[in-house]
Amino acid sequence: MNSIINHILISMPHMQDPYFNRSVIFMCEHDKDGAMGLIVNKPFKDPTLKQLFDSFYDDTDGILNSVDQIYFGGPVMVERGIVLHSGIYQSKDSIKISDDFFISSHKKTLEDISEKKGPNLNRLILGHSGWSGGQLEREIENGDWLVQETSPDFIFNMPENQMWEMAICSFGIDIADFSSFGGQA
């Protein structure tokens, strides 16, 4: 399978896993050793989350006040924050995924966002999703995921409560036609 970096994974309707049900995952890494992505459509609902994140990062300057929402990126290393941001903002602390997308886990990126010097298009995400070598390929072959190209407009501007349905419907799929079981023919 070709690399699916800079694409999204769209969970199929039969996936009932509490982490991945109705998930849209932006893919950051994918090679023979495994894959890593960020769920981009699951905001944390707990209002005290900013205070909890604040205690992890000693955010005495109130950096997170400039972040509208914090997202659940996946069950791996949930205590670690990652900023997914557009390519308009680039710093030595950011890792390039493509010309359109970068990630950073450096506090300087959050500081720049709070000072209005950082990327306007961003998502602060806690945790990530990961797969061992060959695992994601097997899940795709099993019919658990659809793979699609994406854009900054979709990732940063589409309301998260509409992302999954818009992505799955873009394939011309009527989700009412699907059973709740996956598998191979």
- Report the pLDDT value the prediction gives residue 142, as an integer from 0 to 100: 93
Amino acid at 33: D
d(C-alpha 51, C-alpha 36), whole Å: 27
| Residue 111 DSSP one-character state | H
Radius of gyration of the chain (CA): 17
Alpha carbons within 13 A on the beta-carbon side of 115? 9
pTM of the model: 0.86
Q: How far apart are CA 67 and CA 136, in angstroms?
A: 31
Residue ranges covered by each domain of the chain: 7-177
Does 3.40.1740.10 match the CATH number of domain 7-177?
A: yes
The string of pLDDT tens digits covering residues 25-46 is 999 999 999 999 999 999 987 6
C-alpha 75/C-alpha 97 separation (Å) is 21
Cα dihedral across residues 164, 24, 149, 2: positive or negative: negative
Q: How far apart are the first and last CA of the chain?
A: 19
Q: Mind listing the pLDDT tens digit for each residue in 11-24?
A: 998 888 989 999 99
Of all residues in the chain, what percent carry a pLDDT higher than 70? 82
In angstroms, rounded to a whole number, what is the distance separating the alpha carbons of residues 185 and 182? 10
Smallest Cα–Cα separation from 144: which of 155, 131, 156?
A: 131
- In percent, the amount of the chain with pLDDT more than 90 equals 56
d(CA 86, CA 154): 12
Question: Which helix (H) or strand (E) covers residue 125, if one does?
Answer: strand 122-132
